[in-house]
C-alpha cells in the first residue's frame, strides 16, 4: 500500500532487521518522504548523556 498510494513513511527501530527491507525503503524514498530513526538503549549513564544530553538517567 505504501508504494501503491505513495505514502510517506516514518520508522523507529532498535533492530538490525531494517537492513532486510532497505531496497523497499529506497524505492519508497524515491517518490515519498522517508524517515528512519534508530533507538540506542544503554545502562551506562556517561554514554547515555553523550547520546542524548537531556534524557533522564537510568539509575
The predicted structure's pLDDT at residue 42: 85
* pLDDT, tens only, 12-23: 888 888 899 899
Closest CA to 14 of 52, 34, 40, 47: 40
Higher pLDDT, 20 or 41: 20
- Report the b/e string of 25-36 with b at 16+ CB within 10 A: beebeeeeebee
Full DSSP string of 15-33: -GGGGGGHHHHHHHHHHS-
Does position 59 have pLDDT exceeding 70, yes or no? no
Band (pLDDT 50/70/90 cuts) for residue 41 is: confident
Band (pLDDT 50/70/90 cuts) for residue 54 is: confident
Assigned C-alpha cell, 48: 547515555
Threshold 0.75, pTM exceeds: no
Q: How far apart are CA 51 and CA 40, in angstroms?
A: 8
Amino acid at each position: 500500500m505504501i508504494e501503491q498510494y505513495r505514502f510517506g513513511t516514518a520508522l523507529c527501530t532498535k533492530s538490525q532487521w531494517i537492513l532486510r527491507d532497505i531496497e523497499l525503503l529506497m524505492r519508497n524514498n524515491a517518490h515519498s518522504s522517508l524517515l528512519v530513526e534508530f533507538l540506542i538503549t544503554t545502562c551506562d549513564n556517561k554514554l547515555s548523556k553523550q547520546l542524548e544530553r537531556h534524557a533522564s538517567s537510568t539509575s
